[in-house]
């Protein structure tokens, strides 16, 4: 007997694990009871589309062909009232209640690094700028990720937020640069942690990592997007790359242009690298570019041909850079980005 596909907000019990098949492919993976479908896919090394990882962007929206899922966050901003009729659900915030067949818009790189769960103990938090801190955590095992990727912290019941690793992988110490938005749940919870506090984190997530080729690299960060971009720069410095590297970094004020000295040191280690800073509201005495990061990047684009672009930062900044790159005819497969929304 075949059952009709069903979306449910009821707890579907603590029964077993289920098999999820991805329609039109030979991909399948198992989901444990209560486990998020996206997380289960990544633990199995299966790439499904996603972006924010918690329910705001809709990139992970999948169609239920067969079986039953439970929505773990029915009020997620990315869910639309029409989704139920169309049997669409968010893979990042749903679990399986039976074996499933799902349809996704695309599948991706097969060499995905399996995501795993860690416990992270806060070692220290250092003030870098107004409401901006560097957090160092010790994990219960050595981290495995590509520089540029992020982890998803569990910061409270149902409260999942992404933060990009700022350091290099391979040790049990991970580092993040984060901003607090007063009164907002995720960043307030992160900034409320004290040394010794432990929180769960899943990693790695994200597709904004350095592609293995010899093309020059253009790294563009807005605000705390510098967390992901500094990780890429550290990787390039660590491998003594001979690629030309251009780093564009924008913030509202000079005080928010955090890690500037560190960036200058990393850039100086590379044989052919340049750093450009743009500040939207500078104090007198600022000798860099006044304006947005696009004002720094735009004039250089004519000379930056045959390059790969890596971008990270707030959605409005990433969208502005994407619009600029499209306008200049940059091929889409040369742009890798993370929107921090
Ligand atoms: C792939 C990815 C990587 C990320 N990496 C980082 C990182 O390395 N560092 C980092 O700090 N964040 C990062 N973020 C953003 C982070 O996950 C949270 O979205 C952020 O901390 C805000 O969460 P919140 O619950 O405090 O705010 P929410 O309630 O979720 O607010 C939603 C968004 O509204 C905006 N917002 C909220 N309040 C204000 C305000 N007062 N002023 C201006 N804008 C506001 C912010 O852009 C915020 O992201 C990343 C996000 C993604 C998707
Ligand atoms: S809504 Fe699921 S990844 Fe953004």
Q: Is 341 in the pocket of ligand 1 (CB under 6 A)?
A: yes
Take residue 185 and report the two structure tokens written for it.
């749940």
Residue 319 has pLDDT above 70, yes or no: yes
Point out the ligand nearest to the CA of residue 92: 2
Q: Is 41 in the pocket of ligand 2 (CB under 6 A)?
A: no
Distances (CA, A) of 114 to 54, 109, 151, 202, 232: 18, 12, 12, 10, 20
- Give pLDDT, residue 126: 98
CA pair distance 11, 52, nearest whole angstrom: 24
Residues 229-268 pLDDT 10s: 999 999 999 998 889 999 999 999 999 999 999 999 999 9
Identical fold for domains 17-103 and 216-339, yes or no, is no
Q: Mean per-residue pLDDT for 27-54?
A: 92
Q: Which CATH number fits domain 116-205: 1.10.268.10, 3.40.50.300, 2.40.30.10, 3.40.50.1370?
A: 2.40.30.10
Domain ranges for the chain, please list them: 17-103, 116-205, 216-339
> For 49-63, what is each residue's pLDDT tens digit?
998 889 999 999 999
Percentage of residues of the chain with pLDDT beyond 90: 82
Residue 145's pLDDT is 95
The ligand 2 atom at the shortest distance from the C-alpha of residue 52 is: 4
DSSP labels, 200-264? EEEEEE-S-S--SSS-EEEEEEEGGGHHHHHHHHHHHHHTT--S-EEEEEEESSGGGSTTHHHHH
pLDDT at residue 9, as a whole number: 61
For residues 147-162, average pLDDT: 94
- Per DSSP, the three-state class of 16 is coil
- pLDDT tens-place string over residues 169-217: 999 999 999 999 999 999 999 999 999 999 999 999 988 999 988 899 9
Q: How far is CA 195 from CA 117, 138, 274, in A?
A: 20, 11, 36
d(CA 9, CA 7): 7
Under CATH, what is the fold of the domain 216-339? Rossmann fold (3.40.50)
In the predicted structure, residue 1 carries a pLDDT above the cut 50: no
156, 161, 177, 232: residue to mutate for ligand 1 pocket, most atoms within 8 A of CB: 161
Topology of domain 17-103, per CATH?
Ubiquitin-like (UB roll) (3.10.20)
Higher pLDDT, 11 or 172: 172
The 10s digit of each residue's pLDDT in 221-236 is 999 999 999 999 999 9
Give the integer Cα–Cα distance in Å for 61 and 271.
44
């Amino acid at each position: 007997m075949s059952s009709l596909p069903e979306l449910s907000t009821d707890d579907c019990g603590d029964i077993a694990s289920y098999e999820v098949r991805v329609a039109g492919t030979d991909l399948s993976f198992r989901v444990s009871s209560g486990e998020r479908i996206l997380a289960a896919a990544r633990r199995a090394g299966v790439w499904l589309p996603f972006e924010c990882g918690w329910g705001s962007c809709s990139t992970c929206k999948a169609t239920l062909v067969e079986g039953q899922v439970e929505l773990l966050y029915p009020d997620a901003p990315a869910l639309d009232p029409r989704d139920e009729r169309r049997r669409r659900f968010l893979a990042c915030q749903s679990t399986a209640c039976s074996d499933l067949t799902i349809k996704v818009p695309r599948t991706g790189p097969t060499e995905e690094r399996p995501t795993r769960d860690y416990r992270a103990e806060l070692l220290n938090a250092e003030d870098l700028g107004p409401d901006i801190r560097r957090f160092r955590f010790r994990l219960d095992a050595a981290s495995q990720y590509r520089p540029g990727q992020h982890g998803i912290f569990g910061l409270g019941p149902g409260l999942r937020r992404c933060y990009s690793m700022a350091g290099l992988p391979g040790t049990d110490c991970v580092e993040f640069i984060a901003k607090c938005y007063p009164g907002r749940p995720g960043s307030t919870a992160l900034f409320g942690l004290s040394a010794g506090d432990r929180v769960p984190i899943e990693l790695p997530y994200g597709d904004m990592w350095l592609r293995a080729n010899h093309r020059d690299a253009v790294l563009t960060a807005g605000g705390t997007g510098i967390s992901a971009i500094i990780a890429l720069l550290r990787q390039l410095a660590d491998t003594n790359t001979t690629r030309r590297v251009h780093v564009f970094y924008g913030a509202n004020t000079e005080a928010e242009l955090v890690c500037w000295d560190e960036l200058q040191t990393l850039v100086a280690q590379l044989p052919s690298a340049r750093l450009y800073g743009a500040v939207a509201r500078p104090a007198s005495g600022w000798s860099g570019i006044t304006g947005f990061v696009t004002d720094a990047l735009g004039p250089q684009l004519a000379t930056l041909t045959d390059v790969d672009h890596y971008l990270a930062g707030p959605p409005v900044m990433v969208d502005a850079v994407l619009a600029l790159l499209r306008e200049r005819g940059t091929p889409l497969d040369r742009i890798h980005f993370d929107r921090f929304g």
